[in-house]
Every structure is written in structure tokens, then in C-alpha cells.
Amino acid sequence: MATERTLSIIKPDGVKNGHIGHVVSIFEDAGLKIAAMKMVVLTRKQAEGFYAEHSERGFFGELCDFMTSGPVVLMVLEGEDAIKRNRDLMGDTDPAEAASGTIRKLFAASKGENTAHGSDKPESAARELAYFFGAAFEIC
């Protein structure tokens, strides 16, 4: 299994509800390293560009409203099989379907406001890391 880098976002609900430390602990306890981290408020343009693959979906406007509603924490996670392991630690998109102990099961209120984002495959990780952290993280 290769060492990978992946993008994690603690979404506005996770920051607003005071879960930054707990989410970071879940990653670190699982052996994923925080290779870079910054807190920002996304612009509308950044949110729309980031979720461009969903631009034709009915929830796109609501998703971008939510993602720009307050600060988010952007993180580069690094470790063996980091992309899949981050997704496993996050749990299902819908917290009602997420396994116990996962970030979304622990903290998320709904499918729309679901606390965490994680890149879903190597190509997404490369694009998303470059999008928020620049060329240094394009190769994962």
C-alpha cells in the first residue's frame, strides 16, 4: 500500500459546533499525519469550483450556501492508503447511514451538513490538493 496525500475539510458545521480538535484527533489516532492545515472562509467562486462535478444537481446551490456559511478547516492528510482511510473514518455521506464511531455519525446533523469532506479517489485528491494548497501537493 502506497503513502498517499488526500484533502480533508472540516465543514462549517464542524467548526461552528466546536469539533475541530476531536476530528483532528480521530485522524491522528488512526495514524494519519496532518501535513498542512489552514482555516479559511471559502468564497462562492471557490465553493462552486470545488464542487463543480455536482453543478447540475438540485442541491448544488444549497451545498455552496452551506460551504460558504462560515470558516472551514482545510487539511492535507498523509499516510498509507490515506484516501480510503479518510473516507472510512468520515463514514457515509448521510449520517443516518454512517457506521458508529465515524466522524459523520458522531457529529453530522444531515446529509447536507455532514461535517467532513474527503477526496474520493487519487485523481480527486490531486485536483483538490492543488486547488487549495498549490502545486506542491499535486502528486499524491
Q: Which amino acids are annotated catalytic?
A: 117
> What string marks each residue from 99 to 118 as x (binds ligand ATP by CB under 6 A) or -?
------------xx-x--xx
Give dist(CA 59, CA 57) in Å, integer.
Answer: 6
DSSP code per residue over 63-124? HHHHHTSS-EEEEEEEEETHHHHHHHHH--SSTTTSPTTSHHHHH--SSSS-SEEE--SHHH
Query: Smallest distance from the beta carbon of 24 to ligand ATP, in angstroms?
Result: 17
Query: From the CB of 60, what's the least distance to Mg ion, in Å?
Result: 13
- Closest by Cα among 50, 47, 32, 37 to 90: 32
Q: Name which of residues 107 to 136 contact Mg ion (CB under 5 A).
A: 120
- Is residue 70 part of the contact set for ligand ATP (CB under 6 A)? no
Name which of 70 and 112 has its Cβ closer to ligand ATP: 112
Give the nearer residue to Mg ion in terms of CB position, either 25 or 55: 55
Closest alpha carbon to 4 in 131, 128, 99: 128
| Burial class for 51, CB neighbours closer than 10 Å (0-12, 13-18, 19+) | middle
Please report whether residue 68 would count as binding ligand ATP according to CB under 6 A.
Answer: no
Residues that bind ligand ATP (CB under 6 A): 54, 59, 63, 93, 111-112, 114, 117-118, 120
> Which residue ranges make up the site for Mg ion (CB under 5 A)?
120
